Amino acid sequence: MATGEKVMFPGAISSHFTERMDPRAAAEPLPTYRVMDVDGKILDPAQEPDVSKEFALKIYKDMITLNLMDGILYEAQRQGRISFYMTHYGEEAQIASAAALDKGDEVFGQYREAGVLLYRGFTLDQFMNQCYSNNLGHGKGRQMPVHYGSAELHFQTISSPLGTQLPQAAGAAYALKRSKKKNCVMCYFGEGAASEGDFHAALNMAATAECPVIFYCRNNGFAISTPASEQYRGDGIGKSDERLNVSVPVEADAFGFISESRSRYVTNGGSNTDAHSTCRRERSDAGAAHPGYGIYTIRVDGNDVWAVYNATKKAREIAVEQHRPVLMEAMTYRVSHHSTSDDSSAYRPKKAGGKSDLPPEAESWSKRDNPIHRMRKYLENKGWWSEEAEKAHRSEIRTAILESFAMAERRPKPPVEDLFTDVYDVPPPSLVAQKNELRRLMEKFPDHLAAKGFAGGVKE
C-alpha cells in the first residue's frame, strides 16, 4: 500500500496509511476568539453584534446585579446568617451566553451560573429564599444555598456532585432531538469537572448520538485549589478532532489567561464580513484532550461579553440546525475564593500585611481585565451609559437586594412535615412510623422539639 492511501478500517475512516511512524504529543494551540479589548474597544467592526441599546443594557445591568448580590450574600455567610455561598467575581460575562439562547432551551448548570438564571427572570426574592432555605424556597430547605433550579425557566436544579450534569445534558439533548423541537441544551461546567469521567462519557454520547447540546466550560484557572497546570497537560480542554473557526487567526498582543497558555486571540473574519456565517471543519493532528469525539470547538475570551454572545449564538445554530454538539471553552479567571469554605490564599499567596481578603494575583486580574469594567467602557464609548447612570442603578439595585434579603431572613423555615413528603406517592409503613414517632416526641418534649421558627409541625 502506498503512503497516503485511505484506511478502510471502520474505526478510523478518516485516516491514511504511512510508512513513517510519527508519535505526536501536542498540536497547535487553539486560538482564543475575542471582540473587545480590555478597554471595551471593538477590535474588528465586523464582529460587533447588531444589538439594541436596551439589549446591551439588560446584560450589563444584570452583571451589576449579580456582582452586588454576590457581595451581600458573601458577607451574610461570613456573619453566620446563611450557611454557604459561591460568588461569580470575574465571571459575570457568562450572562451573555444566556442572552444568546432561546427561552425554551434547557440549561444544566454547575454552581456558578446564577447570572444565567438572573437573565432568564429568576427574581431576587427567589435567590434569597433559596439561600435562606425558608418556607418559600423552591428546595424546601433540602438543598444547600446556590443550588438553584426553575422548571418555568428551563433551568435544571443544581447538584453538588461534580460533573453529573454533563451526561444528563447529553441525554436531555437526545430527548429534544427525538421530539423534533428547535431547541438545544446548554450545559455549564468548570475545567476541573472535565477531569471527571462523566465529561468524556457525555461528549462521546453527544457526538455519536448527534445530540443538540452546547458544553460550556468555564476555564477559570482553578478547580477549587488545583491550578489548571495540574489539571491537564495539553492546550486546555478545548482541543478536538474538529475545530470551529469562527474567525481567521491573527496575531495579537500576548495576554495569557493561564500561566502556561500559548494561545492567540483571533478577532476578524478575513474576507467574510460575517465570521459567524460559515464554519470550517479540519483535522486536528494530535494532543487533544478528547481526540476521538469529532466535536466542534470554540475557545473564547470569557471576559468579553460580545465574544461570549457571538460564540454562543453560533454554537446554538450548529446544535439546533445540524443536531451536533459543540464545546465552548470560555477562558477567564476566578477572582474570588472557590466558595465560603475556601481560603485561596493557601494556594494563591497573600502579601504580608495585606488588607484585602483576596491574594494580589486575584486583585490584579480584577483591575486589569474585569468583564464588568470592560462592558461599562464599551457602553460609555457608545454613549449609552454614564457615571450618573452607574451610581443611580447601583443604588437602586443594592436597595432592592437588601429589601429582598431582609424579607427572606424574616420568613419561617419550611414545615417539619416536609421531612416526609415528595419522595413516595404512597408513603411506605416505615416512613409513616417515623412520622408518627416524631410527632409523639414533639408533643412529649415541646420545649426541646418545638416547631418554633418553622412554618408548621407534623400533621396527622
Active site residues: 75, 160, 338-339
Angle, helix 124-132 to helix 387-410, in steps of 10 degrees = 40
In 120-219 the beta strands, taken as DSSP E runs, fall at: 155-156, 185-190, 213-219
The C-alpha atoms of residue 222 and residue 190 are separated, in whole angstroms, by: 9
The CA angle 318-322-326, to the nearest 5 degrees, is: 40
Contact status, residue 95 vs residue 63, Cβ threshold 8 Å: yes
Q: In sequence order, which residues have a C-beta less than 8 Å from that of residue 24 and are 6 or more positions away?
A: 285, 286, 287
Contact status, residue 202 vs residue 167, Cβ threshold 8 Å: yes
89: alpha, beta or left? (left if phi > 0; alpha if psi -120 to 50): beta
Beta strands 213-219 and 326-331, pairing class: parallel
Q: Could you identify the residue written with the cell 451560573?
A: 113
C-alpha cell at 337: 475564593
Long-range contacts, 79-85 (Cβ 8 Å, 24+):
81/409, 82/131, 82/132, 82/145, 83/133, 83/144, 83/145, 84/144, 84/145, 84/146, 84/339, 84/340, 84/341, 85/131, 85/145, 85/146, 85/339, 85/340
Q: Could you identify the residue written with the cell 486580574?
A: 365
422: alpha, beta or left? (left if phi > 0; alpha if psi -120 to 50): left
Angle, helix 53-78 to helix 371-382, in steps of 10 degrees = 150
